[in-house]
Amino acid sequence: MRKKKKLGNMDYGIFYCVLILLAIGIVMVYSASSYFAMFKYKDSTFFLKKQIIFGVLGIIALFFTANIDYHRLKKITVPLMVITVPLLLLVYAFKPTNGAYRWIDLGFTSFQPSELAKYVVVLFLAMSLSVKGDGVRKFWTGIVPYIGVGGFYAGLVLAQKNLSIAALIMIVTFIILFTAGGDLKHLFLYVAPTLIAAAFAFALIPDYRRRRMLNFINPWEDAAGDGYQLIQSFYALGAGGITGLGLGQSRQKTLYMPEPHNDFIFSIIGEELGLIGCIVIILLFVFLIWRGVKVAMEARDTYGTLLATGITSVIAVQAIINIAVVTGSMPVTGVPLPFISYGGTSLAITMAAMGILLNISRQANAQK
């Protein structure tokens, strides 16, 4: 009979930080969405109820993955990679939302395959690179194949007009390859063609799309069109000042900000809770990222290190992109703020990923 592997205490810093962010998210989703939900669905708690349901499912998923040996994920990584491809293609069978094909309509809710894709890439890279060893230092056999896999899934996501998640996948791929010991010269050889390809693609896109991407530089140039959402974000952040207008007192959520409970929820946080509230959110993410890096450094094996690095990188890059977009520091793209933005698929899958991170910490603590 196989002996059960002993587990230590999980990293409670990560655990409580995730729960705090989740609680803040649920409160802010209700605050940001109540007016819009009442106007559209005649129920101010429409989005709140869904977010609570997926929050509970997420907590269940977190405890489930936190109590399963993360090494078992190796057995399901390839099947997940295979399943994810048709799911990414299945979105085209449904009506687009705001011109983008990103969701599979399940009737009672919707599923966003790109949220699964970003973690599938992390699982594959961690599994394969953990046995690659020093082979990762070779360009053609150690770097190119992994860039190809990451690029394949990023390309499928990009075809859905989801630039942010596609960029996220490639950035996280770079981070994991660097952590695995990839040669910096080779990694920069990967970055250069990527930037050149991006510049070439940017030059070929229609003028209206190019203007839409660059509107963040001067959104007032088309204040009633492409720059509208970003300008409303500026108004919200500016109105909040240092201490904010007070919870539930946002003016921009009253049909000025389009769907304020989604990607631009950080703007509503700034308006209602002010600079202080924004700093608290940022510090919580900084703490979470620090603890995730600590777990990666103390993991009991290379696989755990790379897996923890990938999961932590997804959260870090996603939070940075979201806050950068809301503050007008980069083009407006659709990426949710982890744990806080409304979205069942993102929340449930991210919570499951946090459970994996906690399991890595438990095994590391047991080893001590």
Residue type, 99: G
Task: Give the separation between CA 76 and CA 213, rounded to whole angstroms.
Answer: 38
pLDDT at 138 (0 to 100):
84
pLDDT at 368 (0 to 100):
60
Proportion of the chain above pLDDT 70, given as a percent? 90
- Residue 116 reports pLDDT greater than 80: yes
For residue 210, give both structure tokens.
Answer: 């190019």
pLDDT: which is higher, 80 or 139: 80
Exposure letters 343-368 (e unless 16+ CB within 10 A, then b)? bbbbbbbbbbbbbbbbbbbbbbbeee
Most confident of 105-114, 201-210, 241-250: 241-250
Let me know how many helices (H) and strands (E) the chain has, helices first.
12, 2
Exposure letters 160-181 (e unless 16+ CB within 10 A, then b)? bbbbbbbbbbbbbbbbbbebbe
Q: At what angle do helices 265-298 and 12-41 cross, to 10 degrees?
A: 160
Each residue of 320-339: pLDDT tens digit? 999 999 998 887 777 889 99
Exposed/middle/buried for residue 338 (C-beta within 10 Å: 0-12, 13-18, 19+): buried
Beta bridge partners of 110: 105
* Structural domain count, the chain: 1
Q: Is residue 42 in a domain?
A: yes
Through-space distance between the first and last CA atoms of the chain, rounded to whole angstroms: 25
- Residue 2 reports pLDDT greater than 70: no
Q: Is residue 356 in a domain?
A: yes
For residue 315, give both structure tokens.
Answer: 């959260």
Could you give the C-alpha distances from 168 to 88, 172, 330, 335, in angstroms and in order? 16, 6, 14, 9
Nearest to 51 by CA among 285, 294, 343: 343
Each residue of 261-272: pLDDT tens digit? 988 999 999 999
Q: Is residue 1 in a domain?
A: no
Summarize the confidence of residues 217-234 as an average pLDDT. 82
pLDDT at 287 (0 to 100):
97
Question: Which residues constitute the domain of residue 93?
Answer: 12-367
CB 18 within 8 A of CB 361: no
Q: Is residue 2 in a domain?
A: no
Farthest-apart Cα atoms in the chain, separation: 70
- Residue 1 reports pLDDT greater than 50: no
Each residue of 164-195: pLDDT tens digit? 888 899 999 999 999 988 777 777 776 666 66
Hey, CA dihedral for 110, 84, 86, 139, is it positive or negative? positive
pLDDT: which is higher, 223 or 158: 158
pLDDT at 27 (0 to 100):
95
Question: What DSSP line would sit under 177-236, residue for residue?
Answer: HHHTT--HHHHHHHHHHHHHHHHHHHHHS-HHHHHHHHTTT-GGGGTTTTTHHHHHHHHH
pLDDT at 6 (0 to 100):
53
Q: Is residue 204 in a domain?
A: yes
Q: Is residue 286 in a domain?
A: yes
pLDDT at 26 (0 to 100):
95
Q: Is residue 6 in a domain?
A: no
pLDDT at 224 (0 to 100):
76
Each residue of 50-76: pLDDT tens digit? 999 999 999 999 999 999 999 999 999
pLDDT at 306 (0 to 100):
95
User: Which stretch of 23-37, 193-207, 255-269 has the lowest confidence by average pLDDT?
Assistant: 193-207
Q: Is residue 7 in a domain?
A: no
pLDDT at 3 (0 to 100):
41
